[in-house]
Amino acid sequence: MVRAYPERVTIRDVGPRDGLQPEAPVAVDERIRLVHALQDAGVAHIEVAAFVSPKAVPAMAGAAEVVAGIARRAGTTYAALVPNAKGAELALAAGVDELTVTISASETYNQRNVKMSTAESEAAIAAIVALADHADVPVDAVISCAFGSPYEGELAPAGVVALARRLEAAGVATTTYADTTGMATPRRIDDLVDALAGEVDRVGLHLHDTRGAALVNAYAALERGIARFDTSVGGLGGSPFAHGAGGNLATESLVAVLDDLEVATGIDLERLIAAAALVGELVGRPLASGVANHGPRTRLAAPRP
């Protein structure tokens, strides 16, 4: 059977931010070391930090120091999450290449996550876009709970897309739909793409593996033409504001499948697995990622003595 996939997929590894954010704080120099390991593996888009209050998110303290300490590689985009205009000003002053902002399609989750209504978050994003435009830096809007809310249940895809359209009108460059608590299924991926009327050029997905469906959801999205994904090396991550939120889709898991499908990513899988091993060292526990633990399917087992 002949299937059509994108010729190339763009992966934004969010491990240094989303992956480490819920963990015990990791030293700035070790976070920089992780960024270097990812770029050495060929990851050309990395979310490196969050410019948030260190009191609220201790693991993200020292964001400016992380950005300043990176030995930048040409052709690599270094992104940072910002919650408000103050965070945007700090991130822009640090010299990031992209700002990511979050807003939830779930009103209750938005209140718990950023202590604002969705309407207030829309206004805050518009202010961030104005600052970013002045610095000629693009903004990616990540829409949380795009496939359902842990508090409100099902959310209509049309309403989620309507929110994205308002953000686009406010000036965001791209939109990423996030499966914050792992409620997506291939059917729900189809529903979203149908609501988008097939317009997926500026669309990305941020998938969590709470229910073990992240990889199959990514495959379903590939079949519908989506070619941009957020993933986290080692499969770390999760929201502290949503009970049961699991880790992100592991970068190495997606790359292993894309390699087998002959879809280009520009990422060296063996070096990426080495970066995942570093993540395991930094958090001090084994990773759930099967590819990180067992390698790609082509790696032969060592002969028994």
Single-letter code of the amino acid located at 210: T
- Can you tell me the distance from the alpha carbon of 154 to that of 146, in angstroms, rounded to the nearest whole number? 10
- Can you tell me the distance from the alpha carbon of 172 to that of 160, in angstroms, rounded to the nearest whole number? 15
Q: How far is CA 180 from CA 69, 79, 151, 197, in A?
A: 30, 19, 12, 23
Given this model, what pLDDT does residue 48 score? 98
Smallest Cα–Cα separation from 72: which of 105, 98, 117, 35? 35
How many CB atoms neighbour CB 226 within 10 A? 22
Specify whether the CB–CB gap between 150 and 113 falls below 8 A. Answer: no
| Sequence-distant (≥ 6) Cβ neighbours of residue 62 within 8 angstroms | 28, 31, 54
Does the pTM exceed 0.85? yes
pLDDT tens-place string over residues 202-238: 999 999 998 999 999 999 999 999 999 999 999 998 7
Q: How far is CA 229 from CA 12, 153, 219, 273, in A?
A: 6, 24, 11, 18
Specify whether the CB–CB gap between 183 and 147 falls below 8 A. Answer: yes
Question: Structure tokens of 287?
Answer: 């990773």
pLDDT tens-place string over residues 282-294: 999 989 899 999 9
Smallest Cα–Cα separation from 102: which of 146, 144, 151, 52? 144
- Can you tell me the distance from the alpha carbon of 141 to that of 173, in angstroms, rounded to the nearest whole number? 8
Please give the average per-residue pLDDT across 79-85, as a whole number. 97
> How does 138-165 read in b/e, with b if 16+ C-beta sit within 10 Å?
bbbbbbbbbbbbbbeeebebeebbebbe
Cα dihedral sign, 64-66-67-71: positive
- Can you tell me the distance from the alpha carbon of 139 to that of 111, in angstroms, rounded to the nearest whole number? 22
Tell how far CA 239 is from the center of its chain: 12
- Can you tell me the distance from the alpha carbon of 152 to that of 160, in angstroms, rounded to the nearest whole number? 14
Beta bridge partners of 77: 45
Smallest Cα–Cα separation from 237: which of 286, 275, 180, 184? 180
- Domains with residue ranges and CATH for the chain: 10-294 (3.20.20.70)
Pick the residue with more confidence: 234 or 304? 234
Tell how many helices (H) and how many strands (E) occur in the chain.
Answer: 11, 8
pLDDT tens-place string over residues 35-69: 999 999 999 999 999 999 999 999 999 999 999 99
Smallest Cα–Cα separation from 227: which of 249, 202, 193? 202
Above 60 in pLDDT, residue 84?
A: yes
DSSP 211-233: TS-HHHHHHHHHHTT--EEEEBG
Given this model, what pLDDT does residue 244 score? 54
Kindly report the average pLDDT of the chain as a whole number: 94
CA torsion 250-245-110-151 (nearest 10°) is 140
Above 70 in pLDDT, residue 240?
A: no
Question: Structure tokens of 247?
Answer: 């880790």
